Amino acid sequence: MINLNRASRHALYEQLYLQIKNDITAGMIAPDSRLPATRTLADELGISRNTVTAAYYQLELEGYLHAIKGSGFYVNSLLNLDLIKNTSLENPSFPPVHEDNDPKKCKYDFQYGNIDGDIFPTNPWRKCIISSFDSIADQTYLSYTDKQGEFRLRTAISNYLYQTRGVRCTPKQILITSGHQHSLQLLTKLLPKEEYSVSLEEPGYDGTRAIFEMNKYDMNTVHLEDDGISIDDIFRLKNTLLYVTPSHQFPTGCVCSISKRLEILNWASKHNSYIIEDDYDSELRYHMLPVPSLQSLDQSERTIYLGTFSKSLSPDLRIAYVVLPELVLKNYNETFKLINCTVPKHLQIALAEFFENGSYERHINMLKTHYKKKYDLICSCIKKTFGKKAAIQGSSAGLHLLLSINSPYRQHQIIKRALDCDVQVYPTDIYWKNKKDCPQNQILLGFSSIHIHDIATAIERLHQAVYK
Same domain assignment for residues 176 and 195: yes
pLDDT-based confidence at residue 141 (cuts at 50, 70, 90)? low
Which of 96-110, 152-166, 334-348 has the weakest average pLDDT? 96-110
CATH of the domain at 273: 3.40.640.10
Structurally, the chain folds into a number of domains equal to 3
pLDDT-based confidence at residue 87 (cuts at 50, 70, 90)? low
pLDDT value of position 422: 96
Look at residue 263 and tell me if it is in a domain: yes
pLDDT value of position 94: 47
Same domain assignment for residues 256 and 393: no
Q: Is 166 left (phi over 0), alpha (psi -120 to 50) or beta?
A: left
Look at residue 3 and tell me if it is in a domain: no
Same domain assignment for residues 171 and 138: yes
Look at residue 325 and tell me if it is in a domain: yes
At 243, give phi and psi (nearest 5°).
Answer: -90, 125
Same domain assignment for residues 356 and 402: no
Same domain assignment for residues 152 and 301: yes
Which of 299, 334, 361 lies at the terminal end of a domain, its last residue? Answer: 361
pLDDT value of position 137: 86
**Measuring CA to CA, which residue among 151, 199, 203, 197 is closest to residue 175?**
151
Cα-based distances in Å from 91 to 96, 257, 317, 366: 11, 64, 37, 53
**Stretch 414-425: mean pLDDT:** 96
Same domain assignment for residues 333 and 378: no
**Stretch 365-381: mean pLDDT:** 96
| Size of the chain in residues | 468
Same domain assignment for residues 300 and 416: no
Contacts of residue 135, Cβ cutoff 8 Å, sequence gap at least 6: 349
pLDDT value of position 291: 80
Same domain assignment for residues 72 and 135: no
Look at residue 78 and tell me if it is in a domain: yes
Percent of the chain topping pLDDT 90: 76
Q: In whole numbers, what is the pLDDT of the chain averaged over residues?
A: 91
Look at residue 207 and tell me if it is in a domain: yes
Which residues form the domain of 290?
Answer: 120-361
Over 70: is that where the pLDDT of 68 sits? Answer: yes
Look at residue 335 and tell me if it is in a domain: yes
Which of 141-145, 355-359, 380-384 has the weakest average pLDDT? 141-145
Over 80: is that where the pLDDT of 81 sits? Answer: no
Look at residue 1 and tell me if it is in a domain: no
pLDDT value of position 91: 54
Same domain assignment for residues 147 and 182: yes
